[in-house]
Structure 1
Amino acid sequence: MSCADRLLAEYYDAFSQRWIDPQPLEDALADARQVLWLGSYYGLAKPAAHAEWVIADLSPTMLRIGLDRLGPCLAVEADIRRLPFSQRFDSIVAPGCVTAYLLTEHDLEAAAKSLAAALRRHPHARLMLDAYDCDSIFLKDYFQGDRWLRLDGRDWLRRASLERAPGQPGVFDVTLDFIAPDGIERNRPVHFRQRAFRPEELAAPFLNKGLELLHQVRDNAHGRFYLTFAPT
């Protein structure tokens, strides 16, 4: 595994503890027997002994990290828009703003269809999503400025910048740069495009797929919100 991959994985872990409210996640997992964990924020994952877990991500590297950290579970390289499951899970969770990669309405519609299809149809089944809040994330320093972090056993300066995509509401481009204290060692900057939503905007296609919105939590202090759905 490259140094860049390790840094990014530990960066996700560090920020998951500071920026993500664990309560909606814990509530969605409380009664779960069959769990689908989407994305690579494994620092929040606490598999229960009675539950069978599947982790899914587009990155084989992040899946290997997940297997190392979580122990026995099934790892599947999969796209949230095209999950290879049908009514398999009684809890599907996607912490760490996996939704941010749903850049277009087509992406969002496909993900809603795929996730609704993978969720079992019983009263206790839950789907939990979090997302960047379009009304507050751009006011935070989450993707902007410098921050010292302890990663991979040493101190690194994380330098972040954000640029809004013109003509695409909620869409933005991010650059992350990790620089060692002496300024000599640095990794190639990481670039990615993401999307922030309003709660009603993200919820709509899931409601159209026959899911009921049970809970909505808006965390303006951290520029995020959480949606929990159940089958109707």
Structure 2
Amino acid sequence: MRSSCATRRIYKWTLPAWAGRLPDGRTYNTCPSAGICHDLCYARHGTFQFPGVVRAHQANLRYVLDEPDAWEAQLTTELQHRRYYSGPGPAHVRIHDSGDFFSAAYLHAWIRIVRRTPDVVFYAYTKEIALFEETVRPDPPPNFYWRYSYGGTQDARIPPGSPHVDVFPDEESLDQAGYTSQAPSDLRGAYGPETLGIPANNLPHLKKAQGSQTFRALQRAADTAAADRRARRRGPAKRGPSKGHGPPR
């Protein structure tokens, strides 16, 4: 667990972003519901791709996959250390600044960790809408905040009124849409309003690829195009006999 801001006491647990291959040859996908975001993800570019960073994130994933009970026990023990309770205010843990809840077992492990450390505040952005609605929504830990993130294959399943985040081309477009910017503090992911916006990462090739659209709009267009392709593959619908007309007499 690493700290990203000592003054606000935010710690982060990170996995490698999206899909890849471990040194032992195993393949993985830590973001199974990624949509258009997998090409525009900040965590697949820049400093996240430094060899040492990739090795560290993949080591985290190997620990979860190969020794899940030991990982869960160690993380729980660490989060009960006094440094997380030294104040002022609670310590915060962002679960993933890359990667996502890639399986039900992994999510259940996190929920157990959260419940065992009730004085630490946890928060997460996720595209695993169906999994969260089934697993977390019915009985959420009071110290866990989650926010659905547009740009995934389950966008259409985000319930109306749910806290969510969308990625905008810039601060101006975000403000015009009536969204609150996440930029001043990542803790707005936990405590911010329902409509939270993130300005696009300042990498020229990513900004060019995103253009003037939000992740939500880009995913909607991608979903529509995919539906059109499926319809073309099925071909024209076959028509049966019209109702109300029997054979000629």
TM-score of the superposed pair, with normalisation by structure 1: 0.31
Structure whose alpha-carbon radius of gyration is higher? 2
TM-score of the superposed pair, with normalisation by structure 2: 0.30
User: Relative to total residues, which structure has the larger helix share, 1 or 2?
Assistant: 2
User: Relative to total residues, which structure has the larger strand share, 1 or 2?
Assistant: 1
Larger relative contact order (Cα-Cα within 8 Å, sequence gap ≥ 6): 1
